A and B are shown apart, each in its own frame.
Chain A
Amino acid sequence: MISKNLTAASTKPIILAILKQGNSYGYLIIKKIKELSDGQMQYTDGMLYPVLHRLEKEGLITSNWTMTNETRPRKYYAITELGKAALNEEQLQWAKVTSVLDSLWNVQPTTK
């Protein structure tokens, strides 16, 4: 199971990336993350919604209520252009972190 801190730190890029693939709502986002992480990342409504609403306030995503005949009303979220730019920025930062970690982990220990 991935630690709570790491899960919390990665919430923003993960949500933005999922929404970049297509509009979605809370339940689906949680399921998608669980599926992609093989159940290693466990989100709850209590963790997800504060972030979703913050991103909406920052203008990175937008929302609108959608209702079809068969289902309950659902609030779908979509990524904005600002959100896409923020996602690019996040991607660069995470890539940098990954490369630092990779280079550290691939170094062979030196012997005297």
Chain B
Amino acid sequence: MSGYFEVPSFPKAFFQWYCKKELYEELHGDLEEFFYERVEARSLRFAQWMYWLDVIKCCQPYAWKDLESQNSDIIMFKNYFKTSFRSMMRHPLSTMINLLGLSTAIGICVLAYAFNQYKNKVDQFHENRNNVYLSTFFADRDGKEQQNGKSPLPLASLVQQDFASVKTTARLQNRAVVVKSGSNVFHERISFVDPDFLQMMTFPLKWGNAHELNDPNSIILSSSLSEKYFGKQVPLGEMMLVIIGKDQKKLFKVVGVAEEFPGARSFSFKALVHFDNLTDLDQGLDTQDWNQLIDATFIQLDEPQQHEYIASSMDKYADQFNKSSADWKINRFSLQPLSSLYRNSGSISGDIASNEYHVLQNSAISFVIIGLFVLILGSTNYINIAIVSASKRLKEIGLRKAIGANRRMIVIQFLLENICIMTIAMFVGLLLGTTLFIQWMEQTMNFKMDFTLNDPYLFLFLLVVLLFTSLLSGVYPALYIARFQTASIFSGKFKIGSKSILTRVFLGFQLSLGCILVSIAVLFTQNTIYQSQRSWGYDIDRLVYVKFENAKDLRKMRNVFVSHKDIEALADSRHHIGKEHEMIEVDMPDRNYEVQLVKVGDNYLETMQFPIDRRGPLALGKNGDIKGIMVNQTFVDHLDLKQPIGHAIKYGGGNYHITGVLKDFHSYNFYTKIKPLIIQPGLEDESVYLTLRTSPGTTADIKNELEATWATLFPEIPFNGGFQNTVWGNYYENIKDGDRFWRALASIVMLIAGLGLYGLVALNVSGRNKEFSIRKVLGAEWGSVARAIGKQYTLVFVVALSLGAPISYFLTRMIFDLFFPYHMPMNFHFFGYSLVIMLLVLLAILSSQVRRVSRNNPVVGLRSE
């Protein structure tokens, strides 16, 4: 039997590797006998498994070799590490440049990893994420079937009643209210929820009890809201007044405060109150009204595999809804798992999850590309510097070869040097990434990534980065250096390849990459400036708006300001550009189009000063013609109207005709594409916005006067208004944050590329010490030295920059198109900035070396080895 079967070779080799020589024969003999016995008694497969097991069981300190004295491989590696360390210490400049470049690159990779993890972690902290679903429906909208995250108000109770596998349901409706506690009064957006909401979602409380939400008089606050109203104190038992509309008020007792929410979340809340309060406070709300859509209905299932069956069975509710709804016709219902809600929120309109996933996705891809580029840049630095610095180690390599080292050993030695540097770079990079880059990004972008070192995937990722970078940067220099012939080294004929094509290619690649990264960073910075200066399409600077609870309040304020000497124009409206609009569907013969509708009062267009492109015989709202509407240019283009003026338009059961076309302007920020828009005269009694155009230099005073008048007229409610140029919220702050980010990235990239080039040129120049000394002795001036140094780089520079510039152009255009619907026009002259920056860096590096050579004493240079 033993003649036919052999013990498995891999575990045998492992056994041989760890087992003491004097024990091997005796122990392995037994293992073999057991193996053959098992082959005969059972099967070969069984015997092989048991042999593996025996080898592992025998691997105990008792059987281990004495590593220090017995294993020559270990001694060899130890010596290689020693040599590597000494070599690193002897060449501090190249070591520092390599370490700085590689560790910065790894730091950026850690940042990219953290960002990707953040993106993937969104909402995953909810323990029930796999059996809680958001009810959504599909309806024909804008000519195609669209998924919508809202749901009819009566749906939750029917679902709970009709399906046995539904564990519980929770409705959620957000409402803008005024919250008052003591002297603190603010406008807030609070959530009306069913009490099971906090059982479904993992939003743990730091104080109080979630079950107390069953009491309709209770309120649970978010950590930030608690701090806003009560500071650091525990607010349990405190009373808060919630005002809905103007007249509906209710006192709530604080029964809980949530822990600070995780950063990776797509939705949360400011305050939670029992859903029944909504029906109590909002008298017009009918819980049996199928036409009433609420923000969310969550359904928790006992058996998640039933969700498709339940969703298809829910189609019976579509008929009930369709009977009562004029605007929407539901085709079918669908249950969206909480675990994937965020990922799909971009394609679900009206859902409560923030739909920034595609922005995060694009950012994550950009981070990965940038991380990879910077890693390649760091590695190319390493390759170039390793090859050039090998000129200083020619004798060491020659000597090692002369005393018997073969090519493999030299390759291993240089690879180990690379791994040493990479390992140190890895730790420094991890430190830079965690303590600097991630913190800095969180601060500038104002969000939390919830990054933790307690993540096994992080270490797996770092291992992959280590291997990838080691191979990328280490293999070529190791193979190149190991190729040197001993005889030519000692005869002095061997020259390190400044003329080698591959070395030039690497240098060119490094420069191109530097050029690409610097261009991207510079262009992003320029685009940020462009965005901050881009016109909104109308004059926003002298506009102030105020929002009221109802038209009656609006009229009170209007009467005070209507004849104010510093008011050039004022208008009331139901909606307001930049703050509020309605989404409607326009019926056209080919299909329906979803458009924005803004209902305005007299004089609104004149007050806002929207630029008018074409105006028909009837202006908006004039001559009592409420059927006349104005549209924007995008509307005309989108609906492909050849003759827009006078064109008949049908929507919401009414017939209208276009009386004018406005030039396109931005209602919302530049991240949002301009949508087709209709401006329609609204009813005076529906108006809640008052917009005022002030005379030059009085805008701030008028706003102050508005606030003062408001305080007199409506002392209980905080002022709700502002300058028109603030309606986009934090948009400009976010742009500035982005600008800071890209500037910092540009600086980092410049630093890595610049240091790499500096190291390369400096080493090259010091390798030609004798040549320059001879030149100087023969009378060479600094200009001649500069030519001698610059000559070998000029062609590479020109080729690299000519390649880098167009690649940067296409790459940046691609990224811009991905991120910005409106970005700066892409012209080649914008790349001039990056080229000038690159050239300045190169000139600075070259001139520093020319200066060094010019100052050196040629006698010292000629004496040196």
Contacts and interface: CB of A to CB of B under 8 A. Distances in A.
B73 interface: no
A2 B59 CA distance: 23
Interface stretch (A7-15, A71-79, A90-98, A101-109): A71-79
Nearest to A72: B29
B62 A45 contact: no
Contacts, number: 38
A49 B26 contact: yes
Contacts of A111: none
Contact of A50 (B29, B32, B62): B62
A45 B26 CA distance: 10
A45 B54 contact: yes
Interface in B14-45: 23, 25-27, 29-34
A48 to B, nearest CB: 8
A46 B26 contact: no
A26 B30 contact: yes
A44 B58 contact: yes
B60 interface: yes
A49 B54 contact: no
B62 A27 contact: no
A17 B253 CA distance: 82
Contacts of B63: 46, 49
Contacts of B59: 46
Interface size class of A (residues with CB under 8 A): 10 to 19
B40 to A, nearest CB: 14
A75 B28 CA distance: 12
A50 B58 CA distance: 11
Interface in A10-65: 25-27, 30, 44-46, 49-50
A46 B29 contact: no
Interface string B45-56: 000000000100
Q: Which of A26, A46, A74 has the most CB of B within 10 A?
A: A46
Nearest to B58: A46
B57 A74 contact: no
Contacts of B23: 49
Contact of B60 (A25, A27, A46, A72): A46
Contacts of B29: 26-27, 72-74
B26 A26 contact: yes
A72 B27 CA distance: 12
Contacts of B34: 27
A44 B57 contact: yes
Q: Which of A25, A44, A45 has the most CB of B within 10 A?
A: A45
Contacts of B31: 45
Q: Which of B26, B33, B54, B62 has the most CB of A within 10 A?
A: B26
Contacts of B57: 44-46
A45 B34 CA distance: 11
A26 B58 contact: no
A10 to B, nearest CB: 19
B58 A45 contact: yes
A49 B33 contact: no
Contacts of A46: 57-60, 62-63
Contacts of A30: 30
B32 A49 contact: no
Contacts of B60: 46
A73 B28 CA distance: 11
A57 to B, nearest CB: 13
A73 B30 contact: no
Nearest to B34: A27
Contacts of B32: 72
B494 to A, nearest CB: 54
Interface string B178-215: 00000000000000000000000000000000000000
A45 B25 CA distance: 12
Q: Which of A30, A44, A50, A73 has the most CB of B within 10 A?
A: A44
A53 to B, nearest CB: 8
Contact of A44 (B25, B33, B54): B54
A76 to B, nearest CB: 11
A30 B57 CA distance: 15
A74 B57 CA distance: 21
Contacts of B33: 27
B828 to A, nearest CB: 73
Nearest to A48: B30
A44 B59 CA distance: 11
A111 to B, nearest CB: 50
Contacts of A73: 25, 29
A68 B33 CA distance: 15
A26 B27 contact: yes
A46 B32 CA distance: 14
Nearest to B62: A50
A47 to B, nearest CB: 8
Given A27-B33, A27-B34, A49 B62 contact: yes
B550 to A, nearest CB: 82
A25 B23 CA distance: 13
Q: Which of B25, B29, B54 has the most CB of A within 10 A?
A: B29
Contacts of B30: 25-27, 30, 45
Nearest to A44: B57
Nearest to A29: B30
Nearest to B56: A46
A38 to B, nearest CB: 16
A55 B646 CA distance: 111
Nearest to B22: A53
Interface in B58-102: 58-60, 62-63
A50 B57 CA distance: 13
Contacts of B62: 46, 49-50
Q: Which of B27, B30, B31, B34 has the most CB of A within 10 A?
A: B30
Contacts of A49: 23, 26-27, 62-63
A75 to B, nearest CB: 5
A72 B35 CA distance: 14
A108 to B, nearest CB: 44
A46 B23 CA distance: 11
A72 B26 CA distance: 10
A49 B19 CA distance: 13
Nearest to B63: A46
Q: Which of A25, A27, A30 has the most CB of B within 10 A?
A: A27
A4 to B, nearest CB: 13
A30 B62 CA distance: 18
A74 B29 CA distance: 8
A25 to B, nearest CB: 8
A44 B62 CA distance: 13
Interface in B471-509: none
Q: Which of B31, B32, B33, B63 has the most CB of A within 10 A?
A: B33
Contacts of A25: 30
A54 B513 CA distance: 66
Contacts of A27: 29-30, 33-34
Contacts of B58: 44-46
A98 B604 CA distance: 106
Interface of A: 25-27, 30, 44-46, 49-50, 72-75
20 contacts: A25-B30, A26-B27, A26-B29, A26-B30, A27-B30, A30-B30, A44-B57, A44-B58, A45-B27, A45-B30, A45-B57, A45-B58, A46-B58, A46-B60, A49-B23, A49-B26, A49-B63, A50-B62, A72-B32, A73-B29
Given A27-B34, A45-B31, A75-B26, 6 more contacts: A25-B30, A26-B26, A26-B27, A45-B27, A45-B54, A49-B26
Interface of B: 23, 25-27, 29-34, 54, 57-60, 62-63
Q: Which 5 A-B pairs have the closest CB atoms?
A: A27-B30, A27-B33, A46-B58, A26-B30, A44-B57
